[in-house]
Amino acid sequence: MSDSAHRISLAGILITTGIVFGDIGTSPLYVFQAITDGGRNISEAFILGGLSCVIWTLILLATFKYIFFALNADNKGEGGIFALYALLREKNYKWVVIPALIGCATLISDGFITPAISISSAVEGLNNVNPDIPIIPIVVGIIVVLFSVQQFGTAAIGKLFGPVMLVWFSFLGYLGLINISKNPIVLEAFNPYYAYNLIANVDGGFAVLGAVFLCTTGAEALYSDLGHCGKGNIRISWSFVSLLLVINYLGQSALILSDGFHLGPNQTVFYSMVPDELLYFAIAIATAATIIASQALITGVFTLMNEAIKLKLWTNLKVKYPTDHQGQIYIPFINWVTMLGCLLVIFIFRKSSQMEHTYGLAITIDMVMTSILLGFLLMLKYPRIKPYYVLIFGVFLTIEGVFLLSNLGKIVSGGWFTLILATTFFTILYLYYKARQLRTSITEYVPMKKVIPLIKAVKNDSGIVYEATNLVFPTRSNSPNRLDLTVYHSLFKKRPRKAGVIWFLHIDILNEPWGVHYSVNEIIDKCCYYVTLQLGFKEEHRIEYMMKKIHDKMVDKGELTGESVFESVKGKIDEVDFKFVVLNSRVSTDNDLSSFQNLCIKAYRFVKATGLKPAEDFGLDKTNVIVDYIPISVTKKVNQEMTEDYEDYSH
């Protein structure tokens, strides 16, 4: 996002309103429907207590935790759970990967549920007009179209998101104001005593906290979208959005407590507060708002997975850029998996009132993980006031822990689905992470001083033909003083590889989101170089382009001749050839690894099968790629004694 979008301005505030607040802004469609259990819990103590819980949840979690604290813990302007992970990983706290992966898994699970429940709750307003209108086909149609257009980007219609959400929030405020007068006693809910009374003294009060928590789903976007909008615009927009949300919740509560309130079997609290003449407009604007909320969440899942890829927590997937905007990405595999997940939710639970049971649990867990990482980071950043942060985040974790316990009560009625999803995603993420650790631990290296004379010998051997003018070997070695044994094997142990210039390329992913840096170490003058390429974790991998740029700069400085090794074209072409040797190394089946380690390897191969081939990952022209298969042996030394049977045949 450009700096102009980050500057505080009316345009920036409008853009922020369209990007950040879709999920939390459409919560009024289903929060009080869930709190009242479809209109069955409508006593004054229950409604005022539930309303008080909603108000103070928005104040304590959404406002204090995210607006006041989280927005100050950015990573070069970027927010979200992986921004926290990257900052803490930099300080060598290895345990932080666990909450980061749990947070990632729960956010992906939320990507399956949010579009389904949001769009269903909006479209179900049609049942207020005609109870016989089939809702599922309409919702399925919207979901399929929404995911199908992702490949084209949202640049054109994205300009409408801000104005549409502005109309939506204004409409929420209007509905709230015209209904508050029906029972002004709801204003007393600002007193937190009503929240305490609900939890401590009202039957079913603690269980309803799972429904209350739905009011703050989407609060994570206040932090994760920091890089798109800037903290100033988010804070100012939230002051307007939160006020209108609270007004609407007050209006819904007043309506419920008014004389003669009753919900039909297919009616909802939200649409019951809409005047008849505005019902069609309400359905239309609510549907538009939920589509925008779903779009924001889909984009958020793309961004989350792209960051996981760059941080080496997931295999490399095909990432497309539908528009010229750097922040607009599209990941086909994630898009279609998420769409299938949404459709699965719709077909299993069918109604938004049933989907509510699946909703909230994953986000509660994610919020707990964010609190752990955020609190720990702020304690490290400001050690002098560490007790202050211990107290503050102790309060946040206590509140979120209470919500988590309440949401666990949903497991039987639908939370099982969320739990299975999140557990599955976390298990795969964790096994993949451990497999990468295992791979690093078994990687062997050869001293570069052993490699240098062999390169020279091959270069001077006229019996070996040139493979390319420039031959590039990606290497895991982070030092020019050593080389991967697998690269050494590919260079010399089969048919020796000969080139005009041999490059050993080490790619390092930085903890900051943007930036491309490189350094070159000379191994053999004009013959062999070790290159370190440092990429921000949000940068696109265009390795072939980058290597050619490095080569051209070295030619300009006189460090390389820039000539082809092939006599027939020497001096006749402007650009010399490059070949990239991609090593496909696999642990042999004959190994001494534990059962868990073998499970990690199987998970690693499963995940890799969903991703890009190395040539695609590095942005390489396939015609310039050489794939070499190298086995990795992980076995104990064999000490079997062998005896030769000798028989004298001379007689």
Dist CA 415 CA 361 (whole Å): 7
Report whether 511 contacts 87 (CB < 8 A). yes
| Phi-psi label, residue 566: left if phi above 0, alpha if psi -120 to 50, beta otherwise | beta
The Cα–Cα gap between 272 and 244 comes to 18
* Stronger pLDDT, 327 or 420, i.e. the higher one: 420
Strands 625-632 and 468-474: unpaired
249-303 pLDDT, tens digit per residue, is 999 999 999 877 787 777 889 999 999 999 999 999 999 999 998 988 888 888 8
d(CA 490, CA 496): 8
Residue 421, judged by CB atoms within 10 A of its CB (0-12, 13-18, 19+), counts as: buried
How confident is residue 574, by pLDDT bands cut at 50, 70 and 90? confident
What is the pLDDT at residue 149? Answer: 87
Average pLDDT of the chain, as a whole number:
87
Q: What pLDDT band is residue 559 in, cutting at 50, 70 and 90?
A: very high
Please state, in angstroms and rounded to a whole number, the distance separating the CA atoms of residues 71 and 348: 37
Look at residue 445 and give its three-state secondary structure. Answer: strand
Phi, psi (degrees; rounded to nearest 5) at 529 = -140, 150
- Predicted confidence band of residue 4 (pLDDT cuts 50, 70, 90): very low
CA distance 645 to 555: 64
Q: Which two tokens stand for residue 484?
A: 């991967």
Residue 353 confidence (pLDDT): 82
Confidence at residue 290, expressed as pLDDT on a 0 to 100 scale: 93
Residue 503 clears pLDDT 80, i.e. is over it: yes
Distance, in Å, from the CA atom of 120 to the CA atom of 115, rounded to the nearest integer, reads 8
Domains of the chain, with CATH numbers?
3-436 (1.20.1740.10), 446-632 (no CATH)
Output the pLDDT for position 539. Answer: 80
The residue-averaged pLDDT of 78-84 equals: 86
The answer to whether residue 640 scores a pLDDT higher than 70 is: no
- What pLDDT score does 633 carry? 64
Question: Residue 512: pLDDT band by 50, 70, 90 thresholds?
Answer: confident
Tell me: the pLDDT tens digits for 595-608? 898 899 889 889 98
pLDDT at 500: 93
Kindly state the average pLDDT of the residues 425-434.
95
pLDDT greater at residue 163 or residue 22: 163
Q: What is the pLDDT of residue 493?
A: 83
Listed as own residue / partner, the contacts of 121-124 with beta carbons closer than 8 Å and 24 or more positions apart are 121/26, 121/29, 121/30, 121/33, 121/268, 121/270, 121/286, 121/290, 121/352, 122/26, 122/29, 122/283, 122/286, 122/287, 122/289, 122/290, 123/283, 123/287, 124/266, 124/268, 124/351, 124/352
* Cα gap 312→43, rounded to integer Å: 52
Q: What average pLDDT does the segment 74-80 reach? A: 80
Q: Does 3 have pLDDT greater than 70?
A: no
Q: What are the residues whose beta carbons fall under 8 Å from the beta carbon of 200, sequence distance 6 or more?
A: none
| Model pLDDT, residue 464 | 92
Percent of the chain residues topping a pLDDT of 90: 49
Q: What is the pLDDT of residues 289-321, one digit of tens each?
A: 999 989 888 888 888 898 898 888 998 888 877
E strand or H helix that includes residue 302: helix 279-310
- pLDDT category of residue 649 using cuts at 50, 70 and 90: low
pLDDT tens profile 435-475: 988 888 888 899 999 999 999 999 999 899 999 999 999 99
How far, CA to CA in Å, does 555 sit from each of 340, 526, 558, 561, 562?
Answer: 51, 10, 5, 6, 6
Is the pLDDT reported for residue 526 higher than 50?
yes
pLDDT of residue 152: 80
pTM for the model stands at: 0.84
Contacts of 239 (CB under 8 A, 6+ apart): none
Asked if residue 100 has pLDDT above 90, the reply is yes
Chain Cα centroid distance, residue 211 = 25
Cα separation of 231 and 237, whole Å?
10
581-607: buried (b, 16+ CB within 10 Å) or exposed (e) per residue? bbbebebeeebeeeeebeebbebbeeb
pLDDT at 1 over 50: no
Segment 171-198 mean pLDDT: 94
Q: For residue 271, which of 288, 284, 283 has the smallest C-alpha distance?
A: 283
pLDDT at 147 (0 to 100): 92
The position carrying tokens 């072409």 is 573
> Hunting for tokens 């990239």 — which residue is that?
580
